Chain A
Amino acid sequence: NAGVTQTPKFRVLKTGQSMTLLCAQDMNHEYMYWYRQDPGMGLRLIHYSVGEGTTAKGEVPDGYNVSRLKKQNFLLGLESAAPSQTSVYFCASTEIRANTGELFFGEGSRLTVL
């Protein structure tokens, strides 16, 4: 039972470098989300997708881009990393809208930007 898988789990970047986080789900879910978790801030929505080929901005989208070329994958990109993007990133998916359904989370990707 893979569920939601995030790669990589850990990454250290230098300011200005770029990287992509990959989220893969094997539950055939339509909806996928990227959140960031910071101490004392809870989880904040970065971007989300309501189906293959669609993306939408969440609460904190600046500095990030996303793509959903395949239904099972949701990619989060940082074009030019900044120290403020040091965080733990969580991907989640759900069969119906997160507003009413159960979100299934990956185990997180810990990113440090020096």
Chain B
Amino acid sequence: AQSVTQLGSHVSVSEGALVLLRCNYSSSVPPYLFWYVQYPNQGLQLLLKYTSAATLVKGINGFEAEFKKSETSFHLTKPSAHMSDAAEYFCAVSDSGGGADGLTFGKGTHLIIQP
């Protein structure tokens, strides 16, 4: 069974500062990894995904994430935060080996942008 741990339920950064949201995974098979974002009162939308191609993955809105197998991590970064980045961010993992369908989500990190 796979799982993800997101460190920090709330992260606060100043506008223009680096955004770093941490995600560590546990999986018995090579994982596929995802970051989804949820804006207030909306459903989730895909930011980026890692499916065993390049380890550095670029997503929408200037976000990127790096898959590090040695650290079992898939942290999300953005060089310069914008007020519009304020949202809930979810890391998710799935089984690349064709096991049960569906993603396993982390508990989420609420990103707060200070003006």
A-side residues, CB < 8 A to B, are: 4, 31, 33, 35, 40-45, 48, 50, 56, 58-59, 90, 92, 97-100, 102-103, 105-108
B105 at the interface (CB under 8 A from A): yes
- Beta-carbon contact of B108 and A90 below 8 Å: no
- Beta-carbon contact of A103 and B44 below 8 Å: yes
Q: For B100, what are the chain A residues with a Cβ–Cβ distance below 8 Å?
A: 56
Q: For A43, what are the chain B residues with a Cβ–Cβ distance below 8 Å?
A: 44, 90, 105
Q: For B36, what are the chain A residues with a Cβ–Cβ distance below 8 Å?
A: 103
Total A-B pairs in contact (CB under 8 Å)? 65
Mask for B90-106, Cβ within 8 A of A = 1, else 0?
10001110111111111
In the complex, the 7 A-B pairs of residues with the closest C-beta atoms, listed nearest first: A105-B43, A99-B94, A42-B105, A42-B107, A43-B105, A45-B102, A102-B46
Q: For B41, what are the chain A residues with a Cβ–Cβ distance below 8 Å?
A: 107-108
* Minimal Cβ-Cβ distance residue in A for B49: A102
- Beta-carbon contact of B107 and A103 below 8 Å: no
Chain B interface main SS type: loop
Q: For A33, what are the chain B residues with a Cβ–Cβ distance below 8 Å?
A: 102
CA distance A90 to B36 in the complex (A): 14
- Shortest C-beta distance, B71 to chain A (Å), equals 21
Q: For B102, what are the chain A residues with a Cβ–Cβ distance below 8 Å?
A: 33, 45, 48, 58-59, 98-99
Contact residue among B90, B101, B105, B106 (Cβ-Cβ distance under 8 Å from A99): B101
CA distance A9 to B46 in the complex (A): 22
Known interface pairs A45-B102, A56-B100, A103-B44; 10 further A-B residue pairs with C-beta atoms within 8 A, sorted by A's residue number: A40-B107, A43-B105, A45-B104, A56-B101, A99-B99, A99-B103, A102-B49, A103-B103, A107-B41, A108-B41
